[in-house]
Amino acid sequence: MRQLKIVMISSECVPFAKSGGLADVVGALPRALRDLGHHVIVILPRYTHANGHMRDARPFLDTMGVWMGDTEEWCAVQTTVTDDISFYFIESNKYFDRYALYHDADFNDYQDNPRRFGFFTRAALQLCRDMRFVPDIVHAHDWQTALAPAYLKIWHHDDPILRKAASVLTIHNIAYQGVYNAAHYNYLGLRWENFTPDKFEDHQQINFLKGGIYYADVVNTVSPTYAQETLHPGFAHGLAPYLNNKGDHYLGILNGVDYDLWNPAVDQLIPARYTPHDLSGKAICKQELQRRCLLHVDPDVPLIGVVSRLVHQKGLDMLAWAIERIVNDMRVQFVILGTGDKSLEWFYGNLPGRYPGRIGSYIGYNNELAHWIEAGSDFFLMPSFFEPCGLNQIYALKYGTLPIVRATGGLQDTVQQYDETTGNGTGFKFWEPAPHALYNTVGWVVSTYYDRKHHMRQLVQAAMAQDFSWNKSAKLYVEAYERAILNKILA
Ligand code: ADP
Ligand code: GLC
């Protein structure tokens, strides 16, 4: 096997900056690729609001000029090395000295997001040139860096540093495409002859992801089922024809998870550690979670946890229709952690006051509490309308917290349905995206908890034995990289 040189360009990465699962993936995949013998560097924006890990970076380039379509921008570059992987941060206060990654305190997207991430993507490629890093692969993630494959082909096709680089674009969520006013097009420097419906044009606007799909040598999404689903118009938010055009250059590769961070045997954030052989620590985690979230402390009542962005995708408006009937009819507790839509924040924020001791909620972002919920709950609920992969249900399996999921995308691929006759399975699935289906499934879950304790024990053991570590998926990415290199040569 030959060693590949890979540059990963992303807007998020654990432990530096995170809004969702993209950060977890970009945090873990480079290490798995390194373990397979490849050379990976990661390029990120330097967000000034981000946590201490990013502040530890040291200066690398004092100034770097980046040509956009109609102007030259200037930035600096910082670097840090973690786990033998070099991270580079593009520093531009104009673009990255903000309240959060993508939006202001009221959840309004920044108006200049197309410029922020268009600039960042060009700067990342410029950095490869300035430091003479000759990549075999440029790996872009989501709309934010989807222009990388396009810039490679439009601008760098005869550049000695970048001309050989093949590109892979990973779609973590096709609902977010980066669609913006065409007034930004000159700045992005993508050339007007490419402003056509098969590339960047989308109802007279610019569509970053669509352009990325066109230009990338290989496109993938983050589970096999979501890859299939997005070939059908109902799931792809308008992009199904373009994904179909990619033929076998469009793949589904299931995300792995990082068991150094998400594993009850080693997790330092939770109240007590535990293993499949000794679950006493899980009981402590449940008790402490109930206490922290002001629930009745009771080891014998089933506790259902939710950690989620509060958005339509995640089915939490569906849960809003069902949850009061559930707690009125069944002996069960809920704890909900999330942030997002204001109406859902308001709804879930008010529930504990109306159902004291039975529903706990925390509106905000809290990584430690996310770990506590994974560990201390009996069940983990993800009733998503669609789910490209989903990581929380995979974490939940490792914590012996049985997922209750709608059978879509990566949820379908990672959870095995409970079989009431044998006790086999790892969780509970339902199909119909409707409150009554959710209600009925929770009823089934609660009756299993009280009436089939031997099956509960069997399910927990089977869940904890699941292995979704990155090793297998990283090998599939290497295959995708090889395929991209071949496509580029043959094109
Ligand atoms: P998505 O990326 O669509 O939000 P995933 O399940 O892939 O969904 O990943 C979500 C990640 O973000 C998980 O690591 C989860 O723990 C974390 N997360 C989501 N919301 C919160 C929150 N409010 N507080 C802490 N962590 C959160
Ligand atoms: C997106 C998806 C989620 C996936 C994550 C990481 O945010 O919504 O399903 O797990 O990306 O790939």
Residues near 219 by beta carbon (within 8 Å), at least 6 away in sequence? 168, 169, 170, 171, 212, 213, 243, 246, 249, 250, 251
Nearest C-alpha to atom 26 of ligand 1 is from which residue? Answer: 367
Q: What is residue 53's predicted lDDT score, i.e. its pLDDT?
A: 75
Output DSSP code: residue 423. Answer: -
Ligand nearest to the CA of 229: 2
Ligand nearest to the CA of 176: 2
Q: Which structure tokens are listed for 485? A: 């290199």
Q: How far apart are CA 191 and CA 382, in angstroms?
A: 42
384 CA: nearest ligand 2 atom: 9
H or E, element range at 356: none
Two domains, one topology: 5-256+470-490 and 280-464: yes
Ligand 2 pocket test: which of 391, 393, 468, 470 has the largest number of ligand atoms within 8 Å of its C-beta? 391
Q: How far apart are CA 343 and CA 239, in angstroms?
A: 29
Q: Are 29 and 8 in contact (CB under 8 A)?
A: yes
φ/ψ of 33, rounded to 5, equals -70, -40
Q: What is residue 55's predicted lDDT score, i.e. its pLDDT?
A: 75
**Which residue blocks in 131-207 are alpha helix, DSSP H?**
147-155, 185-188
Is ligand 2 within 6 A of the CB of residue 387? yes
Q: Which structure tokens are listed for 134? A: 């000759």
Is ligand 2 within 6 A of the CB of residue 23? no
Q: What is residue 50's predicted lDDT score, i.e. its pLDDT?
A: 73
Nearest C-alpha to atom 12 of ligand 2 is from which residue? Answer: 172
CATH of domain 5-256+470-490: 3.40.50.2000
Q: Which parts of the chain sit beneath pLDDT 50?
A: none
Number of residues written out for the chain: 491
CA–centroid distance, 308 to ligand 1, in Å, is 5
The whole-angstrom distance between residue 340's C-alpha and the CA centroid of its chain comes to 15
Q: How far apart are CA 127 and CA 130, in angstroms?
A: 5
Nearest C-alpha to atom 12 of ligand 1 is from which residue? Answer: 20
Ligand 1 pocket test: which of 309, 337, 394 has the largest number of ligand atoms within 8 Å of its C-beta? 309
Nearest C-alpha to atom 3 of ligand 2 is from which residue? Answer: 390
pTM of the model: 0.96
Q: How far apart are CA 105 and CA 99, in angstroms?
A: 7
**Which residue blocks in 389-452 are alpha helix, DSSP H?**
392-398, 409-414, 435-451
237 vs 19, 205, 221, 316, CA distance in Å?
22, 15, 14, 20
Q: How far apart are CA 46 and CA 326, in angstroms?
A: 45
Is ligand 2 within 6 A of the CB of residue 217? no
Q: Are 119 and 127 in contact (CB under 8 A)?
A: no
Q: How far apart are CA 200 and CA 198, in angstroms?
A: 7
Class of domain 280-464: alpha beta
Q: What is residue 51's predicted lDDT score, i.e. its pLDDT?
A: 65
401 vs 89, 101, 230, 279, 465, CA distance in Å?
37, 31, 29, 12, 12
Q: What is residue 175's predicted lDDT score, i.e. its pLDDT?
A: 96
Is ligand 2 within 6 A of the CB of residue 257? no
Nearest C-alpha to atom 20 of ligand 1 is from which residue? Answer: 308
Domain ranges of the chain: 5-256+470-490, 280-464
CA–centroid distance, 65 to ligand 1, in Å, is 35
Ligand 1: list residues with CB < 6 Å: 20-21, 24, 307-309, 337-339, 365-367, 370, 389-392
Q: What is the pLDDT of residues 59-108, one digit of tens each?
A: 999 999 999 999 999 999 999 999 899 999 999 999 999 999 999 988 89
Q: What is residue 1's predicted lDDT score, i.e. its pLDDT?
A: 73
Q: Which structure tokens are listed for 221? A: 């999404």
Q: Are 269 and 372 in contact (CB under 8 A)?
A: yes
Q: Are 341 and 274 in contact (CB under 8 A)?
A: no
DSSP helix/strand/coil, 295: strand
Ligand nearest to the CA of 306: 1
